[in-house]
Amino acid sequence: MEFLTVKDVAEKWGYSESTIRKWCKSGLIKVTIGAEKKNGHWQIPISAECPKKKKH
């Protein structure tokens, strides 16, 4: 499975890195395999979908 960094996901979805980290920690970002922390960094599955509507 391919993973994205918090920075990559923040840019892709249009939210701050802190918001993405908060969503990871709370379990809001969900797919078959959810976001997980490896070596102190969140690894977000490339197939994850934004849990909220994109900011305009």
Q: Write down how long the chain is.
A: 56
Over the stretch 1-56, which tens digit does the pLDDT of each residue have? 688 889 999 999 999 999 989 988 888 876 545 667 777 888 888 878 888 766 65
Instruction: Check residue 2 and give its pLDDT.
Output: 80
Give the pairing of strands 3-4 and 36-38: unpaired
Q: Which residues pair with 36 in a beta bridge?
A: 43
pTM confidence score: 0.64
pLDDT of residue 31: 55
**Which run of H or of E encompasses 12?**
helix 6-13
Query: Which residue is associated with the tokens 């993973």?
Result: 3
Instruction: Return all residues near 51 (Cβ < 8 A) that are at least 6 apart.
Output: 23, 28, 29, 30
Closest CA to 29 of 12, 40, 39: 12
